[in-house]
């Protein structure tokens, strides 16, 4: 067994919480092991003055960690699963998915108790096109503004920039001790989460069987199965941070799996949503199938339009 494990992580407070959680689990399981952390800054951490859709997709928060792993500088990287691209780079492996925390999206508002209480024309902050599209579908009157930065920064901007509300992941708020700031968790009927939201991903080198064996106990089979369905959906629609899609898979019965997904236009006026239930053994197929259904229903047209918009936007 390895005597030392080097964990790569971003340096934000939430990323450090995630790395410390994994380190704590490893230390408890293997009392004699030495665990080191290597803090890194990703491109997504550096560029805070532009919307995510303008500067790129999910790889913004993982690429530097993956390069360090391929170079042998770290043994594993801990990510929020929702930040991982649908395709894992050659030479690397998504080796474990932890038990999922609450995957929901939270309303944080200093003045209003619920989403329905927001006044007409309320200022709402979010950096996610997925959230923007679903919010506008439910409330076309809202004014949505881009909001970048880590959790602490976004909470500070809530008051400094006079937002009526901001939308953040429930899991991140609770992990950092801000659970009391949540005024409402949006129901799934209003807001489907991002792929893997609430779960942590542990990535290793593909050939590093020793590290994979060490972290195997952290993999939650139920969450991993749901993640396979959700990531297959993402792969089929070729989505990332810059595409307004949501998907949520949950266990159904002893061996079943329910998958619900949405593709929406940026203005929320067109929204295609569907669900299916099948066997867990065919998780990837179910994710692909529901993607095909939504693309055929009108989602493909939305994605084509969005691609042209983003091409103009990023020139």
The DSSP output letter for 100 is P
Choose, from 20, 49, 75, 83, the residue flagged as catalytic.
83
CA–CA separation, 58 and 239 (whole Å): 9
Structure tokens at 77: 């990287």
Pairing of strands 256-264, 271-279: antiparallel
Residue 83 designated active-site: yes
Rounded CA Rg of the chain: 19
| Dihedral angle, C-alpha 102, 242, 123, 198, nearest 10 ° | 10
Name residues whose C-beta falls within 8 Å of residue 222's C-beta, 6 or more positions apart in sequence.
99, 251
Would you give the DSSP letter of residue 297? I
The Cα–Cα gap between 101 and 197 comes to: 8
CB 78 within 8 A of CB 200: yes
> How many CB atoms are located within 10 Å of the residue 138 CB?
16
Catalytic residue positions, numbered: 83
């Amino acid at each position: 067994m390895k005597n030392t494990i080097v964990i790569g992580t971003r340096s934000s407070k939430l990323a450090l919480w995630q790395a410390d959680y994994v380190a704590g689990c490893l230390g408890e399981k293997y009392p004699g092991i030495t665990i080191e952390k290597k803090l890194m800054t990703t491109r997504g951490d550096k560029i805070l003055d532009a919307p995510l859709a303008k500067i790129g997709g999910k790889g913004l928060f993982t690429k530097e960690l993956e390069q360090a792993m391929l170079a042998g500088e770290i043994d594993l990287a801990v990510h929020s699963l929702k930040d991982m691209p649908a395709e894992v780079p050659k030479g690397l492996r998504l080796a474990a998915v932890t038990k999922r925390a609450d995957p929901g999206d939270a309303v944080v508002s200093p003045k209003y108790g619920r989403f329905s209480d927001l006044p007409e024309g309320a200022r709402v902050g979010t950096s996610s096109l997925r959230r923007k599209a679903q919010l506008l579908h439910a409330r076309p009157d809202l004014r949505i503004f881009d909001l970048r930065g880590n959790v602490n920064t976004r909470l500070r901007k809530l008051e400094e920039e006079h937002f009526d509300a901001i939308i953040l992941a429930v899991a991140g708020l609770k992990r950092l001790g801000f659970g009391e700031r949540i005024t409402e968790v949006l129901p799934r009927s209003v807001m489907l989460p991002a792929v893997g939201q609430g779960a942590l991903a542990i990535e290793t080198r593909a050939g590093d069987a020793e590290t994979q064996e060490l972290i195997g106990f952290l993999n939650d089979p139920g969450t991993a199965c749901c993640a396979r369905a959700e990531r297959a959906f993402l792969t089929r629609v070729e989505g990332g941070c810059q595409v307004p899609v949501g998907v949520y898979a949950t266990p159904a019965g002893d061996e079943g799996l329910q998958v619900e997904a949405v593709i929406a236009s940026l203005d929320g006026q067109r929204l295609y949503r569907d669900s299916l239930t099948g066997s867990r053994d065919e998780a990837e197929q179910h994710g692909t199938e529901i993607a095909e259904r939504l693309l055929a229903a009108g989602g493909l047209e939305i994605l084509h339009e969005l691609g042209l918009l983003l091409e103009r936007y990023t020139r």
